[in-house]
């Protein structure tokens, strides 16, 4: 079995008392730099295995459906990571050291208990996709505006009361979902400045029910998801025959 890619096997190594498997795990611990991809799925880990912090050649790490509440600062050692997923855990915070992962292209934090995102996330200049759905976020850091390569941003199902104007700097965004939040202010006019948007979800996000008139300027927009209470600007769809409006 190659040491560069293993998933179910390594779950067994962490959780099983089998001596033969533990012996194999000892070999892996002796050469952590040989590991390139690591996928730990649905095994109920409550603590982040410290050995992972030494796997400095990891390019992909997925820890899906565990019981993790904390990520240690050592995550910042994994500086060549390109894909990182902690989907379906119990994280309520992230370490500042996550900002060290400057080669990261995809970060999945969906289905956790995050109350905030550290300002250091603005250091992830290579990030193309950020998934923060189904958390408990009330605010976003202003430094999120530094993610100039971001193409996909999921913010659905949080407790956001406002959107930072710095989001308007993300000119490469193609997908933006902010539905089912608790915005206390009208939807911002700068949404109409995100000229590369192909998909926009603003259904059930609170605030002013009216859809900003500037949305009509998004000539590349193909999917607009709204709810029945939201009022569309008269100009919507003019000059954009591809636009599909979905009411939820």
pTM (2 decimals)? 0.88
Q: Please list, in sequence order, all residues whose beta carbon lies within 8 angstroms of the beta carbon of residue 52, skipping any fewer than 6 positions away.
A: 38, 58, 61, 74, 78
Show which of 88, 121, 147 is a domain's final residue: 147
Q: Is the pLDDT of residue 18 over 70?
A: no
168 and 142 in one domain? Answer: no
Q: Which domain holds residue 165?
A: 151-248
Residues listed for the chain: 248
* Residue that has been written with the tokens 């969906």 in this structure: 110
How many Å apart are CA 221 and CA 209, to the nearest integer? 20
**What's the domain count of the chain?**
2
129 and 183 in one domain? Answer: no
177 and 64 in one domain? Answer: no
81 and 57 in one domain? Answer: yes
Contact between residue 243 and residue 225 where contact means Cβ atoms under 8 Å apart = no
Interval 87-134: pLDDT, tens: 999 999 999 999 999 999 999 999 999 999 999 999 999 999 999 999
Mean pLDDT of 164-191: 95
120 and 211 in one domain? Answer: no
Greatest alpha-carbon pair distance for the chain in Å reads: 70
Tokens matching residue 19: 């001596």
40 and 85 in one domain? Answer: yes
Tokens matching residue 181: 């939040």
134 and 33 in one domain? Answer: yes
Interval 138-177: pLDDT, tens: 999 999 999 999 999 999 999 999 999 999 999 999 999 9
Dihedral sign for Cα 157, 215, 161, 230, please: negative
127 phi and psi, to 5 degrees? -65, 130
231 and 185 in one domain? Answer: yes
113 and 43 in one domain? Answer: yes
The Cα-based distances of 99 to 74, 81, 204 in angstroms read 12, 12, 31
Show which of 147, 166, 182 is a domain's final residue: 147
Interval 22-79: pLDDT, tens: 344 455 666 778 889 999 887 789 999 998 999 999 999 999 999 999 999 999 999 9
Higher per-residue pLDDT: 225 or 4: 225
Q: What is the CATH number of the domain that holds 115?
A: 3.80.10.10
155 and 137 in one domain? Answer: no
Q: What one-character DSSP code corresponds to residue 198?
A: S
CA 165 vs. chain centroid, Å, equals 19
121 and 53 in one domain? Answer: yes
Q: What is the pLDDT of residue 236?
A: 86
17 and 101 in one domain? Answer: yes
Show which of 147, 165, 186 is a domain's final residue: 147
Contact between residue 196 and residue 173 where contact means Cβ atoms under 8 Å apart = yes
Q: What is the pLDDT of residue 20?
A: 38
Higher per-residue pLDDT: 236 or 171: 171
Task: Establish how many alpha carbons lie within 13 A of residue 152's alpha carbon, considering only the half-sphere containing its beta carbon.
Answer: 10
């Amino acid at each position: 079995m190659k040491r560069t890619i293993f998933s179910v096997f390594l779950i067994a190594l962490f959780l099983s008392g089998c001596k033969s498997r533990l012996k194999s795990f000892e070999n892996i611990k002796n050469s952590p730099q040989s590991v390139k991809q690591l996928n730990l799925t649905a095994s109920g880990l409550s603590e982040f295995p410290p050995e992972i912090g030494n796997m400095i050649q990891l390019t992909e790490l997925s820890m899906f459906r565990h019981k993790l509440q904390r990520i240690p600062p050592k995550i910042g050692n994994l500086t060549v990571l390109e894909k990182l997923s902690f989907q379906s855990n119990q994280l309520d915070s992230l370490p500042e050291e996550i900002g060290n992962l400057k080669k990261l292209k995809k970060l999945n934090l969906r289905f956790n208990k995050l109350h905030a995102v550290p300002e250091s996330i603005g250091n992830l200049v290579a990030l193309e996709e950020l998934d923060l759905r189904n958390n408990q976020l009330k605010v976003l850091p202003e430094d999120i505006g530094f993610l100039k390569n971001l193409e996909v941003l999921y913010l659905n199902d949080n407790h956001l009361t406002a959107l930072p104007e710095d989001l308007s700097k993300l000119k490469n965004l193609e997908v933006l979902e902010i539905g089912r939040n608790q915005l206390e202010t009208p939807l911002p006019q700068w949404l109409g400045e995100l000229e590369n948007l192909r998909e926009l979800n603003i259904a059930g996000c609170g605030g002013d029910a009216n859809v900003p008139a500037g949305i009509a300027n998004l000539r590349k927009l193909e999917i607009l998801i709204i709810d029945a209470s939201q009022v569309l600007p008269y100009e919507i769809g003019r000059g954009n025959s591809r636009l599909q409006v979905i009411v939820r």
